Amino acid sequence: MAESINIQGATIPEDVAYKLLYAVAWAENIDLEGWAKTDRNWILNTYAECLLAVQNPAQRMTALPSSAQSAAAAEQARGTDNP
């Protein structure tokens, strides 16, 4: 069985993905709670990507563009998590 992940009260993958969705939105200057409307497709696609990243990070690597895979592989080879 997989380890339990707890990110500020989130204990199931869906909760973690939901919190990650907000982090991604913040990083991309998208306001999910304000007056400005956000594109429905962006929300659904981003949540699906977040859920995939939480449930199976290795599978997400196959979905990345080749340039992103190369950068991620190089970073992993260096043994660093930060650029």
Q: Which residue has the higher pLDDT, 19 or 71?
A: 19
Question: What is the rounded CA–CA span in Å between residue 47 and residue 39?
Answer: 12
71: in domain: no
Q: Quote the pTM value.
A: 0.59
Question: Which positions ≥6 away from 47 have C-beta within 8 Å?
Answer: 17, 18, 21
72: in domain: no
As a whole number, mean pLDDT of residues 10-15 equals 83
- Convert the pLDDT of each residue in 13-50 to its tens digit: 899 899 999 999 999 999 888 877 788 899 999 999 99
Query: Widest CA span of the chain, in angstroms?
Result: 43
73: in domain: no
Task: State the pLDDT at residue 83.
Answer: 46
Number of domains in the chain: 1
Task: State the pLDDT at residue 45.
Answer: 93
Question: What is the rounded CA–CA span in Å between residue 83 and residue 52?
Answer: 23
69: in domain: no
